[in-house]
Amino acid sequence: MDKRVDRFDRKIDRGRMKRKMSEDLETVQAVVDKRTAMILYGLINRGYLDGVKGVVSSGKESNVYWATVEKWGETRDLAVKIFRTSTMDFKHIWVYIQGDPRFSRVKRDTRSIVYTWAEKEFKNLRLAEGAGVRVPKPIVCRGNVLVMEFIGEDGVAAPRLKEAEVEDPESVFEIVFDYVVRLYEKAELVHADLSEYNVLFWDEPVIIDVSQAVLLSHPLAVEFLIRDIRNVLRYFSGLGVNVPSLEEAYRRVTGEELEWRTESL
Ligand SMILES: Nc1ncnc2c1ncn2[C@@H]1O[C@H](COP(=O)(O)OP(=O)(O)OP(=O)(O)O)[C@@H](O)[C@H]1O
Ligand SMILES: [Mg+2]
């Protein structure tokens, strides 16, 4: 029964999306600046995408669009995340860029920082993927435009964990927790903004939004990790999952004891 209701809901959503879409086509062109439009044309010319078809989400620092590309006679859905220069909180994002040895030579002008932010997400997606963490498959990154696998169907994004109907929260918790461990152990990354808002659910949890994720060498990596673990424990314990204590969870991720010097975050 739940499944049927779910499908029905999605159908309504899709109808709404389609109606919005014709407006959105114009919006995309009106919203992006000339430089971004040029980057999009470049990607179209190189065959990465055929066109942008609709808006998936408009956030404070980025907009996510649905695009498609025809490959080997099949139409593939893509997500195109465009980072906005105008509304970016540079003071906030600088914390995550500074201290990351991969980006120690970044220039401090607005555009360089936004481009770095996009590239950081692209590289982090690759690292996460290599560590066996389910993330949208990264495809290409040019300037402030990041192209990746679309999680969802027909331009309708998968629900976020926050809104998803999860039948077996225990096993979803285990998977998400395992992803935190894999990120830490194999990718040497801390997500740094992990919560039920940055995990999509499409048959399985999919971790998204990794532009702020930092290497373990970042001076605040431990603080970010504790915050991530806290969020995950809080969310799943709210769903009735018997979660470990913060100390135990921290030990499982890092193999080390939690030192109580990090209450501030
Ligand atoms: N690969 C993807 N496939 C489908 N939908 C996606 C994808 N990536 C992002 N989205 C959608 O776009 C939304 C925002 O993406 P993301 O969290 O990466 O950006 P953000 O900059 O944090 O935006 P916000 O400020 O709205 O959180 C997601 O909640 C999701 O609905
Ligand atoms: Mg987000």
Q: What is the DSSP letter of 49?
A: -
Q: How far is the CA of 203 from the centre of ligand 2 (A)?
A: 20
For residue 139, pLDDT beyond 70? yes
The pair of three-digit structure tokens given for residue 33, joined into one six-digit string: 């600046």
Boundary of a domain, candidates 135, 157, 179: 157
34/90 same-domain check = yes
Closest CA to 61 of 87, 30, 35: 87
Mutate to test the pocket of ligand 1, among 154, 208, 211 (most ligand atoms within 8 A of CB): 208
Report if residue 265 sits inside a domain: no
For residue 20, pLDDT beyond 80? no
14/87 same-domain check = yes
Q: How far is the CA of 40 from the centre of ligand 1 (A)?
A: 19
pLDDT top residue among 92 and 250: 250
Q: Which ligand is nearest to the CA of 63?
A: 1
16/45 same-domain check = yes
Boundary of a domain, candidates 97, 124, 157: 157
175/221 same-domain check = yes
The pair of three-digit structure tokens given for residue 144, joined into one six-digit string: 């402030």
Residue having the nearest C-alpha atom to atom 13 of ligand 1: 57
21/149 same-domain check = yes
Residue having the nearest C-alpha atom to atom 21 of ligand 1: 62
Active site residues: 193, 209
Share of the chain above pLDDT 90, in %: 77
Q: How far is the CA of 40 from the centre of ligand 2 (A)?
A: 22
For residue 165, pLDDT beyond 90? yes
215/149 same-domain check = no
Supply the pLDDT for residue 8: 47
For residue 112, pLDDT beyond 70? yes
Tens of pLDDT, residue by residue over 27-83, are 566 668 899 999 999 999 999 999 999 999 998 889 999 999 998 999 999 999 999
Report if residue 72 sits inside a domain: yes
Residues near ligand 2 ion, CB 5 Å cutoff? 198, 209
For residue 13, pLDDT beyond 60? no
Report if residue 112 sits inside a domain: yes
The range of the structural domain enclosing residue 119 comes to 2-157
117/240 same-domain check = no
Supply the pLDDT for residue 2: 52
Confidence of residue 217 (pLDDT cuts 50, 70, 90): very high
Report if residue 101 sits inside a domain: yes
What is the tally of structural domains in the chain? 2
Report if residue 119 sits inside a domain: yes
Q: Output the pTM of the full model.
A: 0.89
Report if residue 264 sits inside a domain: no
List, chain by chain if needed, residues with CB within 6 Å of any ligand 1 atom.
56-57, 59-62, 64, 79, 136, 148-152, 157, 160, 198, 208-209
> Cα–chain-centroid distance for residue 132?
16
Q: Sign of the CA dihedral 49, 159, 195, 247?
A: negative
Q: How far is the CA of 132 from the centre of ligand 2 (A)?
A: 21
Report if residue 261 sits inside a domain: no
Q: What's the mean per-residue pLDDT of the chain?
A: 90
Confidence of residue 16 (pLDDT cuts 50, 70, 90): low
Q: Alpha-carbon distance 4 to 9, whole Å? A: 9
Boundary of a domain, candidates 137, 157, 177: 157
For residue 115, pLDDT beyond 60? yes
Ramachandran angles phi, psi of 129, nearest 5°: -60, -45
Q: Is 156 left (phi over 0), alpha (psi -120 to 50) or beta?
A: beta
Share of the chain above pLDDT 70, in %: 86
Q: Which ligand is nearest to the CA of 121?
A: 1
103/197 same-domain check = no
- A 10 A CB-CB count for 238 gives 11
Q: Which ligand is nearest to the CA of 81?
A: 1
Domain CATH number, residue 180: 1.10.510.10
138/198 same-domain check = no
132/17 same-domain check = yes
148/176 same-domain check = no
Domain CATH number, residue 111: 3.30.200.20
Report if residue 162 sits inside a domain: no
Supply the pLDDT for residue 59: 86
CB 50 within 8 A of CB 67: yes
123/189 same-domain check = no
pLDDT top residue among 108 and 119: 119
Q: How far is the CA of 198 from the centre of ligand 2 (A)?
A: 5
CB 133 within 8 A of CB 191: no
Q: Sign of the CA dihedral 156, 161, 164, 166?
A: positive
Mutate to test the pocket of ligand 1, among 55, 57, 195 (most ligand atoms within 8 A of CB): 57
